[in-house]
Amino acid sequence: MIYLDHNATTSLDERVLAAMLPFLKTYYGNPSSLYRHGRLVRSAIDTAREQVAALVGVSAPQIIFTSGGTEANNLALATLSPNANFAVSAIEHPSIIEPALHLKTQGHDLTMIAVDSNGRITQDAINQLIDCQPQLVSMMLANNETGVIQPIASYAEQLKAHDISVHTDAVQALGKIPVSFDALNVDLMSLSSHKIYGAKGCGALVVGKNITINPLLRGGGQEQNLRSGTENVAAIIAFGKAAELAKNELTERSEQLLALRTLLEQQLTSIPQLTIFAQHADRLPNTVMFGIENVDGEMLVMQLDTKGIAVASGSACASGGSQPSHVLLAMGMTPEQAKTAVRISLGIANTAAEVTDFVSTLKSLIA
Ligand code: PLP
């Protein structure tokens, strides 16, 4: 199989698997237990917390482990005070859009931030937000479908100067571009492990100094009382190891991904009627979304699958439905244009030969 869907999920790095295995077999103690068998596990979780914290440049207590990016995003929105107004961008992942729409039904005033045709939040939109004075603004660092990167640091600085808190979903940016919590000027940031060669079912919310979290889960008081429930120990250890590797190998990984993406885009441009979406925006080094006029994206995905090639149409997390991508619609595309979308998201194990194979298979399918 040629796997080109790393924004949906990545394989588990062998080194990560080796780090987590002992915590599925030998070290099965409960980290809250007082005896040695539990304390050992607690100390391994502490190390993982430090490794994740180091990847985004914060101190360990600022990391709250969650069940993934979805829970981290829900927890970030749960910081809202009763009836407070807030804003999210129109291109957010469903794990922001859906809880935001739910909060709206509960009496919160919600502003949807528009994007331009390149999928970027504009300075005008930020100026308008400042006039509305929301309590919280959520804007993703990099989009999972188009790969477009937002100028979060500059926008967050302006919003914070007006006492507006900022959350960023950094799930897709992590491990692909440098992500520094402080440099981004944000108050809250969501992370997920299975997008950086860690295990599924684990993520984190990074919390800034003066932010109050309203827990979604109450119980035994784990995670500083902010997220109760016995820790998903092996997955947390895996997240720590994956974060350590991502930090050490970041430059090499992003250069390698960018070289592959450049090759892919060069080859794609020889296909008539093919458009790379948001091509001239600042994008993740691994992501290319394109459409071929009058060719259904989902149909292409199925046909490529029969040739042993895994790619996505629109957002993998939202797949199952055949609605056109809300991200592309927000960028001003018609539903017909949006339905042509195919997403390639490269990973660190992909090769130039795989990219070439993919493009020649694609050409033969559309011929
Ligand atoms: N945010 C973004 C931008 C994503 O792409 C995803 C998953 O694709 C998530 C959040 C959800 O993360 P998780 O799968 O860990 O719940």
CB of 317 sitting under 6 A from ligand 1: yes
**Domains by residue range for the chain, with CATH:** 2-9+250-366 (3.90.1150.10), 14-246 (3.40.640.10)
CB of 203 sitting under 6 A from ligand 1: yes
Q: Identify whether the C-beta of residue 344 lies closer than 8 Å to the C-beta of residue 287.
A: yes
- Mean pLDDT by 10-residue block, N- to C-terminus, for the chain (367 residues)? 98 98 97 97 98 98 98 98 96 98 97 98 97 97 98 98 98 98 98 98 96 96 98 98 98 98 97 96 98 96 98 64 90 96 98 98 95
Q: Identify whether the C-beta of residue 142 lies closer than 8 Å to the C-beta of residue 176.
A: yes
Q: Identify whether the C-beta of residue 89 lies closer than 8 Å to the C-beta of residue 282.
A: no
**364 CA from centroid of ligand 1 (Å):** 33
Ligand 1 atom closest to the Cα of residue 95 is 10
Q: Which of 52, 150, 171, 236 to mutate for ligand 1's pocket (most ligand atoms within 8 Å of CB)?
A: 171
Q: Which residues contact 340 (CB under 8 A, 6 or more apart)?
A: 291, 292, 293, 294, 295, 296, 297
Query: Which pLDDT belongs to residue 295?
Result: 96
Catalytic one among 87, 317, 330, 338? 317
Active site residue 317: yes
Burial of 209 by CB count in 10 Å (0-12 exposed, 13-18 middle, 19+ buried)? exposed
CB of 113 sitting under 6 A from ligand 1: no
| Nearest-10 crossing angle of helices 352-366, 297-306 | 120
Query: Which pLDDT belongs to residue 321?
Result: 58
To which H or E segment does residue 166 belong?
strand 165-169
Report pTM: 0.97
Q: Identify whether the C-beta of residue 168 lies closer than 8 Å to the C-beta of residue 189.
A: yes
Q: How far apart are the first and last CA of the chain?
A: 22
Which residue type sits at 220?
A: G
Query: Which pLDDT belongs to residue 328?
Result: 97
Query: Which pLDDT belongs to residue 322?
Result: 77
**143 CA from centroid of ligand 1 (Å):** 10
> Which letter does DSSP use for residue 335 in this model?
H
CB of 285 sitting under 6 A from ligand 1: no
